[in-house]
Amino acid sequence: MTGLKSMLVALGGNAILRHKERGTAEEQFQNIGETAKQMVGLIKDGYRIALTHGNGPQVGDILLKNEIAKATLPPMPLDVCGAESQGFIGYMLQQCIDVELKLAGFDIPTQTILTQTLVDKGDPAFEKPAKPIGPFYTAMEASKLREEKGWTVVNDSGRGYRRVVPSPRPIAMVEARAIKDLYDHGFIVIASGGGGIPVVSDKKGLLHGVEAVIDKDHSAAVFAKVIGAETLLILTDVERVALDYGRPNQQDISEMDVESAKRYMSDGHFAPGSMYPKVESAVQFVESGGKEAIITSIERCRDAAKGGAGTVIHG
């Protein structure tokens, strides 16, 4: 495995489902098939990759199914729904990547690892749940859910009521050893899907799932360190990070050092919950010894890895 460059690729939502699609299995296989072509392209270019991915729309659908079926079947808690989504997205990725690998004449195994992400019970995020998840409810349903389940349910920008959960920081990947061993043995490892299933450790060191979600960009930085990646490649639906994004004076950035990235972050150039956590994770990765982080679109990922597209964040 010498001579190959190690890379952790974080796939955004559009790698699995595009805007306005309904979320049929066919649509998701189709998109993941396109993603798989790009991933095998990176392997052709000399990268040894591991993958992580988001799960927002998928876990949202699972929660809605649980809600609709609750009179017949017991609804599953959020951690179990997260595990379900990791399983089916991992399956689709494994199968599609395998097709592209075989077409390209590679004999490389791909393996999904169901991942739990350790978080701190004392994380301040637990005091103010802020991440909306799952279906919309009426005001009456909302107060019933607050009472019966103890959920935090808030008015989501006037569109209806929605459950919000905490989004704590990832501390470690529970399955880190298995992930590193498989990666070191040449596997394409898919892990930490949707940021991983958040778990806390009790006094005896035993793990318990919690009702929270972890930002997949934050967990990607942890994953990248676990495998000792040189590059963190964050793929989304824009080609470059921009200053004054969406304004007439928008300015796309092709590279920035950690210092300027931090300055742009505090100047409010990156929207919280979308671009901010990506830049934050890129900075964290580089500061903890990673060579570089790149933020770009799936379509441009191979060019970006060669330095001809995207936004590079370096020391």
Residues that bind ligand ADP (CB under 6 A): 12-13, 54, 236-238, 241-242, 245, 269-271, 274-275
Active site residue 306: no
List C-alpha distances in Å: 219 to 51, 147, 169, 210, 241: 12, 32, 8, 16, 20
List C-alpha distances in Å: 115 to 174, 178, 192: 7, 10, 5
Active site residue 105: no
Active site residue 216: yes
32 closest CA partner among 6, 53, 60: 53
Q: Which residue is nearest to ligand ADP (CB)?
A: 12
106 closest CA partner among 43, 47, 179, 51: 43
Least Å distance, CB 109 to ligand ADP, is 27
- Please, which residue, 251 or 288, has the CB nearer to ligand ADP? 251
How far apart CA 49 and CA 186 sit, in angstroms, is: 9
Q: Phi/psi of residue 133, each to 5°?
A: -140, 155
List C-alpha distances in Å: 312 to 130, 150, 212, 254, 308: 30, 43, 31, 6, 10
Q: Is 65 exposed, middle or buried (0-12, 13-18, 19+ CB in 10 A)?
A: middle
- Please, which residue, 6 or 297, has the CB nearer to ligand ADP? 297
Give the long-range contacts of residues 150-153, CB within 8 A, separation 24 or more: none
User: Of the residues 66, 82, 225, 278, which is catalytic?
Assistant: 278
How far apart CA 78 and CA 84 sit, in angstroms, is: 10
- Please, which residue, 116 or 281, has the CB nearer to ligand ADP? 281
Least Å distance, CB 147 to ligand ADP, is 33
User: Of the residues 131, 144, 180, 291, which is catalytic?
Assistant: 131
- In what order do the strands lie in the sheet containing 207-209? 172-173, 116-118, 197-201, 207-209
Active site residue 14: yes
Active site residue 13: yes
- Please, which residue, 201 or 274, has the CB nearer to ligand ADP? 274
Least Å distance, CB 150 to ligand ADP, is 28
Least Å distance, CB 145 to ligand ADP, is 26
User: Of the residues 12, 56, 90, 216, which is catalytic?
Assistant: 216
- Please, which residue, 112 or 236, has the CB nearer to ligand ADP? 236
Q: Which residues are catalytic?
A: 13-14, 131, 216, 278
